[in-house]
Amino acid sequence: MTDHTVKAFDDDINALRALIAEMGGLTEDSIDKAMAALSTGDVALADKVVAQDARIDELDANIERLVVQTLALRAPLADDLREIVAVLKISGLVERMADYAKNIAKRVETISAPTRVEPLSLLPSMARIAREMVKDALDAFAARDSKLALQVIERDRAVDDFYNSIFRTMVTFMMENPKMISESAHILFIAKNLERIGDHATNIAEMVHYVATGTKPPEREKATLIETGLEN
């Protein structure tokens, strides 16, 4: 795209994009570390995820500050306006995904005891899909790629299906192993966190579609999540 006549406006937009990239990279790293810590029971690694979240929150605050400043000083319009609004929303979504990663990391301690339950092995495959969605949603934003954004949106269904399947498995498991209720509940929460990460990646992808095309993506059929019975 052609540069703005006022070069400082381009600098602002580039700075915002760089902040989103940094924040997104850290968040992807947090999700990876949280899942690695979970599968190996590595509490020290989990603590790193918790520590990293402070930096992500700080980036979110910086983005908000720069967005407000850009809106006030540049009064952006058209593509620029859509981009700035998207940056603000995406920043909030990434910040919450990082919170879910932190939440997963905090549970490592509680289920890293010798009594590691077997259904834990269900989580990595679910995490992999959610994690790919996060990466592709952020890549789509960097490249203003509406096609890739639509692919991310399509994949949310798989994460929801995974969640439903884990939910059923865990209910059965808890009935058969009443001593494992506490660990099982943690696993359910982790599955829920991964499901929410998938949702937020989907929301980012929707914003990317809006930035790139000026329109919201077409409505898709949504999965029904079993614990609420509500469409997600």
Partner 1 sequence: MVTSPMADMRNSDPKMTARHVNVFYGEKQAIQDVSIDVELDEVTAFIGPSGCGKSTFLRTLNRMNDTVPSARVEGRITLDGEDIYASGMDVVQLRARVGMVFLKPNPFPKSIYENIAYGPRIHGLASGKAELDQIVEKSLRRAGLWDEVKDRLHDSGTALSGGQQQRLCIGRAIAVEPEVILMDEPCSALDPIATAKIEELILDLRGNYAIVIVTHNMQQAARVSQRTAFFHLGRLVEQGPTTEIFTNPREERTKDYITGRYG
Q: Which residues bind partner 1 (CB under 8 A)?
A: 1-6, 9, 75-82, 214-215
Task: Give min distance, CB of 137 to partner 1, in A.
Answer: 21
Helix (H, G, I), strand (E, B) or coil at 76: coil
Task: Give min distance, CB of 149 to partner 1, in A.
Answer: 16
| Cβ 232 vs Cβ 223: under 8 Å | yes
Nearer to partner 1, 63 or 211 (CB): 211
Helices (H), the chain: 7-40, 43-74, 78-108, 123-143, 146-176, 181-213
| Cβ 182 vs Cβ 159: under 8 Å | no
Nearer to partner 1, 25 or 214 (CB): 214
Task: Give min distance, CB of 2 to partner 1, in A.
Answer: 5
Task: Give min distance, CB of 3 to partner 1, in A.
Answer: 7
Nearer to partner 1, 77 or 175 (CB): 77
Helix (H, G, I), strand (E, B) or coil at 5: coil
Nearer to partner 1, 4 or 89 (CB): 4
Long-range contacts of 167-173 (CB under 8 A, 24+ apart): 167/191, 167/226, 167/227, 168/226, 169/119, 169/122, 170/119, 173/117, 173/118, 173/119
Angle between helices 181-213 and 146-176 (to 10 degrees): 170
Task: Give min distance, CB of 196 to partner 1, in A.
Answer: 30
Nearer to partner 1, 82 or 96 (CB): 82
Task: Give min distance, CB of 4 to partner 1, in A.
Answer: 5
Number of Cβ within 10 Å of residue 98's Cβ equals: 30
Nearer to partner 1, 2 or 228 (CB): 2
